[in-house]
Amino acid sequence: MAEAYIADKGGEWRSERHRGQWRQTIADYCAPIALMPVDQVDRAAALGILKPLWKCAPQTASRLRGRIEMVLDYAYVNLGIEDKVVNPARWKGKLDKIFSKPPKAKNFRALPWVEVPAFMADLKARSGNVARGLGFALLTAARTGEVMGMRWGEVRLDNVERVGDGLVPTPIPLWTVPEERMKAGRQHRVPLSGAAVEILKEQRSALGLEPGAEPDRGAYVFPGQRPEKPLSSMAFIMLLRAMRVDGVTHGFRSAFKDWGTDATSFARETVEAALAHTVGDKAEQSYRRGDALFKRSKLMDAWAEHCAGRSDGAQVIPISAARR
């Protein structure tokens, strides 16, 4: 029903990016109700999705609530049951009695880029699926949902890339995020640094794969408690809390951007492309056909060096001292 709603109403929206945001929000957070008949999505199901998110990311939770409400209303009308079902995601007179009104949007809390090497050293000392997933997200400057939904079939570590039904040589290990999981609704190729590749190799070992064995292409790279499910949206947040970091996962993208623009000579367009941001007006975009893959590969290698505390002038200090 969400896909049908986007297909029918998406033409009214301002951009393909907005459609991508819709799809990503539903994919990231609505997995528990994705296969439920719409008339069985009750208040308990809606609260199960919204309550944890409302505490840590109220703006995102508020947008998600509105989208769930619209999809359910659309479904009720299409099924002819609008007079028989009360929408469990409705705000006025319903969820406004449970949740506080979300505050005005603020920038994501971010760790300053100079403190990232200390954070990474602390993170590497921790084992487990969640720690590796968070480290991978940091090294790739990817969005949380992109990493949580990542499947082994999207990864090429053997210097070839899948194009259509065939393989073509490429000197860069790649992670190709499909368009349906991207905020802008466009496929995004992520060049992987040696440190990011190492995390994927550790993850393969942790999943019990024999050396040389290929994982199931459809399996999640960072699965949740059940292998057929991805990590929960709260997993990274809880880890950051345990590490006493005053920031959110998305804030590492801000740290990456600040580092790229303030501490390196890489072009702004290369940094923005690494973040999968659209650069320039429509005329410029029509002429910009490439994705600066090789430039971005050098950028991500330099970022990995910084995260490891090996960049020029970097000094790694204990994370507790970095906050004093």
Separation between Cα atoms, residue 140 and residue 136, nearest integer Å: 6
Of 323, 310, 275, 319, the closest CA to residue 296 belongs to 275
Cβ pair 176, 190 in contact under 8 A: yes
d(CA 213, CA 215) in angstroms, rounded, equals 7
CA separation for the pair 167, 34 (Å, rounded): 33
Q: Which of 226, 32, 241 is nearest to 129 (CA)?
A: 226
pLDDT score at 247: 64
Look at the block and give the residue holding tokens 């990456």. Answer: 256
Instruction: Specify the 3-state DSSP secondary structure of 106.
Output: coil
Instruction: Go through the domains of the chain in sequence order and give each one's CATH number.
Output: 2-97 (1.10.150.130), 113-322 (1.10.443.10)
pLDDT in tens, the chain (324 residues): 999 999 898 888 766 667 777 888 888 889 889 889 999 999 999 999 999 888 888 888 999 999 999 999 999 999 999 999 999 999 998 999 999 887 665 545 668 899 999 999 999 999 899 999 999 999 999 988 889 889 999 998 875 555 566 655 567 899 999 988 887 778 999 999 999 999 999 998 888 777 667 888 899 999 988 888 888 777 888 888 888 887 667 778 999 999 999 999 999 999 999 999 876 544 344 434 467 899 999 999 999 999 999 865 444 444 444 444
150 CB-contact burial (10 Å; exposed 0-12 / middle 13-18 / buried 19+): buried
3-state secondary structure of 43: helix
Cβ proximity of 222 and 231 under 8 Å:
yes
Amino acid at 145: G
Query: Is the CB of residue 265 less than 8 Å from the CB of residue 128?
Result: no
Q: What pLDDT is stored for residue 211 in this prediction?
A: 66
Taking a C-beta distance cutoff of 8 angstroms, is the pair 274, 141 a contact? yes
Q: Three-state DSSP class for 175?
A: strand
| Predicted pLDDT at 266 | 94
> Counting beta carbons within 10 angstroms of the beta carbon of residue 267, is it exposed (0 to 12), middle (13 to 18) or buried (19 or more)?
middle
Say how far apart CA 321 and CA 305 lie, in whole Å.
21
pTM beyond cutoff 0.75: no
**Which two three-digit tokens encode residue 131?**
């720690």
Residue 53 confidence (pLDDT): 87
Please state, in angstroms and rounded to a whole number, the distance separating the CA atoms of residues 136 and 192.
Answer: 10
Give the list of residues 6+ apart from residue 20 with CB closer than 8 angstroms, or none.
179, 182, 183, 184, 185, 186
Question: How high is the pLDDT of residue 322?
Answer: 43
b/e per residue 277-314 (b: at least 16 CB within 10 A): ebbeeeeeeeeeeebbeebbbebbbbbbbbbbeebeee
In the chain, beta strands by DSSP E: 155-156, 160-163, 166-169, 174-177, 188-191
Distances (CA, A) of 74 to 9, 37, 39, 46, 251: 10, 13, 12, 16, 34
CB–CB of 231/219 below 8 Å? no
